[in-house]
Amino acid sequence: LYDMASGSLSAKVDLGEGQYELLGFDADESHLLLCRKASYQNPAALLAIETKGGAIQETQIPCGTDEAQAGTMSAMPRLLGDQVIYGVYGALVVWDRNTDALNWYPVWKDEEHRLSEVFPCADRALAVNEEGGCAVVELSTGEVTPLEAVLPQPVSLQEGRPVAWSAGGRLLAAEGEEKIFLWNGKGELLAEIPLDNRRVCGCRFTPDGEELLFLCSDGYLYRHSVDGAFLSRVGISRYANTTLFTGVEWYFIDGGVALLAEKVLNVISYDGWGVSAYAANCWGYDPERDMILCYRYQGGSYDLGRFPRYTTEELIARGRSIVGGAVLSDETKSQYGIA
């Protein structure tokens, strides 16, 4: 655990054997929450790790209210405040880890339609089964609204399907076959955006909920209004000429958006919709401090560093100041075009 404020390690925790899914921090950032996946030896468990000190509290994740409902967790948990939301067979389960209250909402009643992914937001969630069938579930009442759509297998099975909710659960977007579906929060179809043989690697609504951004396999970040109209696109820098982006993360900042994919951070400015900054070997971005977190592999371990978000002009100026004070050979000067 790395403390961004002090720039130092706050805790180091040995999780032991097993496979883990990182869920995120709780509301007050006092604990980091992980799910230990079920194995032959152990049931699925929630691990709460203290961010100061690293003490671990383990709680078994309930998979039913009685023996008739008990089963195996089929969809990995997602956090929504203090609630942990996941799937068991064809049901969506909402567990409050503080009060231990458990709500069980059947979405698909036959065991052939196993719930495979859940995407919660505000007081509702999108539930998706293994065949790509989907429905919106009201978390306060359990009301289920089936959607007239089948979602394809995602580009990356590890990252999951590209799905986005706008703030407050007002709008919902998901990749379908050769199109992106746009619904309102109640599951009413608003628009369809054609993809023209592209696959979606990640998508997000802008904070005001007026635009949808989505990163595609052709290397472009697209920008559409929520009525489906195309606004603009921009090419995204990456390490290799690949058709896949994985590990996509989004950070909305003043005047633009920062997009992290394949350990490369691109900062796109709303003014002109172009890349204004770029960082490789990137592990994340801290919007509060406007700092980029980068790494360097050295001697069998990683060195971690925090850097300000320079503009291209600032980097050129810094490079000139460094080169101007360095003693370079004629060969090096010739290589980089330095007089």
Length of the chain: 339
Return the pLDDT at 242.
Answer: 52
Q: What is the mean pLDDT of the chain?
A: 86
pLDDT at 277: 79
- How far apart CA 206 and CA 167 sit, in angstroms, is 9
pLDDT of 68 above 50: no
Residue 233 and residue 198 in contact, taking contact as beta carbons nearer than 8 Å: no
Round to whole Å and give the CA distance between 125 and 117: 10
Average the pLDDT over 160-180 and give the result. Answer: 93
Cβ atoms of 23 and 15 within 8 Å: the answer is: no
Q: What is the DSSP letter of 326?
A: S
Residue 224's pLDDT band (cuts 50, 70, 90)? very high
Q: Give the pLDDT score at 166.
A: 96
Rounded mean pLDDT of 10-30? 88
Query: In the chain, pLDDT over 70 holds for what percent of residues?
Result: 89
Write the pLDDT tens digit of every residue in 178-217.
999 999 998 999 999 999 988 898 999 999 999 999 999 8
Rounded Cα distance, 264 and 240, in Å: 11
Summarised one tens digit per residue, pLDDT across range 272-330 is 888 887 888 888 888 888 888 888 888 888 888 888 887 777 877 877 777 776 677 77
pLDDT digits (tens, 9 = 90+) for 79-135: 998 899 999 888 999 999 889 899 999 999 866 788 999 999 999 999 999 999 999
d(CA 177, CA 169): 23
Q: Kindly report the CA angle at 113 between 155 and 244, in degrees rounded to 5?
A: 5
pLDDT for 67: 45
pLDDT score of 304 = 82
Q: How confident is the model at residue 176 (pLDDT cuts 50, 70, 90)?
A: very high
What does pTM read for this prediction?
A: 0.85
Q: Which of 18-27, 222-231, 252-261: highest mean pLDDT?
A: 222-231
CA–CA separation, 4 and 214 (whole Å):
28
Range scoring the smallest mean pLDDT among 50-54, 224-228, 310-314: 310-314
Q: Specify the 3-state DSSP secondary structure of 143.
A: coil
Q: Residue 240 has which token pair?
A: 């290799």
pLDDT score for 49? 94
Closest by Cα among 115, 135, 133, 116 to 125: 135
